[in-house]
Structure 1
Amino acid sequence: MQYRRETTDPQDEIFDVLTQDGELTGERAARWLVHQNGLWHPAFHLWIAWATPEGLRVLLQRRSLTKDTMPGRVDVSVGGHFKAGEFVPGQPLAPLMLAAIVREVNEELGFRLEPSVIQWLGTRWSEAVQANICDREVQYLYFWLRDEPLVAIEPDPREVAALLAVSVRGLLELLEQERMSVEAPVLWSSESGAGSTRSVQAVTFADLVPGRQRYWRVVLHLLEQNAAKGEVPTEPLVLHGKSEADAG
């Protein structure tokens, strides 16, 4: 039976189908079919962070309630799929790959990103099961360390419900369950736009996309170290995770 649900995500978007090792099979399939049949496909995460006098902050997004996966959850700065023909296995900084990331950042945040600022972190294999969806992604991980927070952002409300500036240290303590919540300034919300009247949101563990506790801890520690030393990691990450099994 063909999978459908009410969503603003284009279900007929075509993705490359991958092997479990992250190589191209030569096959392509529509988004709905990829998610229905649990086919491996390429995606990316971009982490955006900046230093403040109080410590490093990271941009997180609360996903729109109309997303087909993890609606309403708090997620990485920008996440997206590589469309068919854009994924180049083993070449994370290939022009086609960077152009796809620039496009997705513009679509989600309304912000023009220069490809030269994108740095590669590594690769993650992700398996997440919810309702009628089995989402298997080979995620290429990237980061962008800025000197200041983003300004002049105009996110697409079909993609993003809110943008939050979250303390990396506070988020790590939340992931370690050393605190119940972390307060995050709201940079933008779909209800109020930039400079929301609700200037702070309390983010709890239950708000986060599930199954990523270990992954997020590793990346956040790495961002902290990189920001402190001003060095780019030389060894790429290789991570595996299942949303129902990754408890830490």
Structure 2
Amino acid sequence: METEKLKFFNENMEYIGVESREEIHRQGLWHHTFHCWIVVQQEGKTYLLFQKRAAVKKDSPNLLDITAAGHILDNEEIEDGIREVEEEIGLSLSIEQMVSLGIIRWDLTKGKHIDREFCYVYLYMDQHFPKFTFQLEEVSGMYALELEHFRELIEEERENVTGYEIVDGSIAKSQSLTYEDFVQNLKYHQEAIERIKDQLTNDI
């Protein structure tokens, strides 16, 4: 994967060239990614779904992250990033089933890994929890949190939230979570939650 070729850009989103994924993260070059958030509205509650990153992942193992996400290769269009949804969590969706939430910047440094992304963010809404098939080297599980509870967590209005593991399309068990259990990028999360809530309000 580190040898994958990605387009890179300046901070104004102007195209510069192509480089390997490894080099892009080493130099901290801006690049494109595809993010899919899934929201389930069921029994009067609105849940946001988070994948649990596999224990073997090089970056942020065992932490909760975007429902499905991945890099856009140099020969792909943004919409091609939807392949990540089927690859990672086994859902075959079309781009027409999703709502575009626009672009959100992701700028996060962990040691020598500098990740600067222009994230093309999409929302998929359902009334039932899907049945997932995980790419086990990437994802080890799926958890649902009430959307408003996650907002309160990132705004430090509460110290922990209840997460529900989703197995075979149903809630299997619950556990208490803090923000330390998530891949932490506060600015991204605040912007994503605001846009998701705005979209849900518009759909009412």
- Determine if the TM-score, normalized by the shorter chain, exceeds 0.5: yes
* Paired residues, number: 204
Instruction: Kindly state the Cα deviation for residue 155 of structure 1 after the two structures are TM-superposed.
Output: 0.9
> Which of residues 63, 74, 92 is equivalent to 1:112?
92
Cα 1:67/1:196, change in 2 over 3 Å: farther
1:158 corresponds to 2:144 = no
Residue of structure 1 in register with 2:148 after alignment: 169
Residue of structure 1 in register with 2:4 after alignment: 13
- What whole-Å deviation, never above 9, does each CA across 1:122-160 have from its counterpart, x for those lacking one? 112222111221111111111112222212x10111111
Q: Could you say what secondary structure the match of 1:199 adopts?
A: strand
Contact 2:104 2:192 in 1 (8 A): no
1:135 corresponds to 2:87 = no
Higher strand share: 2
Alignment RMSD = 2.1
Amino acid at match of 2:153: L
Unaligned runs of 5+ in 2: none
Question: In structure 2, what is the Cα distance between the partners aligned to 1:137 and 1:209?
Answer: 15
Residue of structure 2 in register with 1:215 after alignment: 188
> Which of residues 164, 176, 181 is equivalent to 1:202?
176
Residue of structure 2 in register with 1:99 after alignment: 80
Say which one has the larger Rg. Answer: 1
Q: Could you say what secondary structure the match of 1:100 adopts?
A: helix
Cα 1:196/1:72, change in 2 over 3 Å: farther
Which runs of at least 4 in structure 1 moved beyond 3 Å after TM superposition?
194-198
- Residue correspondence of structure 1 range 56-71 to structure 2 within 5 A: 56-71=46-61
Contact 1:145 1:227 in 2 (8 A): no
Instruction: Kindly state the Cα deviation for residue 198 of structure 1 after the two structures are TM-superposed.
Output: 6.3
Instruction: Kindly state the Cα deviation for residue 196 of structure 1 after the two structures are TM-superposed.
Output: 9.6
Instruction: Kindly state the Cα deviation for residue 68 of structure 1 after the two structures are TM-superposed.
Output: 3.1
Question: In structure 2, what is the Cα distance between the partners aligned to 1:161 and 1:125?
Answer: 26
Residue of structure 1 in register with 2:27 after alignment: 37
Question: In structure 2, what is the Cα distance between the partners aligned to 1:30 and 1:122?
Answer: 25
Contact 1:44 1:140 in 2 (8 A): yes
Contact 1:56 1:224 in 2 (8 A): no
Sequence identity (%): 25
Q: Which moved more, 1:195-204 or 1:38-47?
A: 195-204
Q: Which moved more, 1:141-150 or 1:105-114?
A: 141-150
Question: In structure 2, what is the Cα distance between the partners aligned to 1:59 and 1:120?
Answer: 17
Cα 1:217/1:20, change in 2 over 3 Å: closer
Contact 1:47 1:76 in 2 (8 A): yes
Contact 1:51 1:227 in 2 (8 A): no
Contact 2:34 2:78 in 1 (8 A): no
Residue of structure 2 in register with 1:147 after alignment: 127
Contact 1:105 1:112 in 2 (8 A): yes
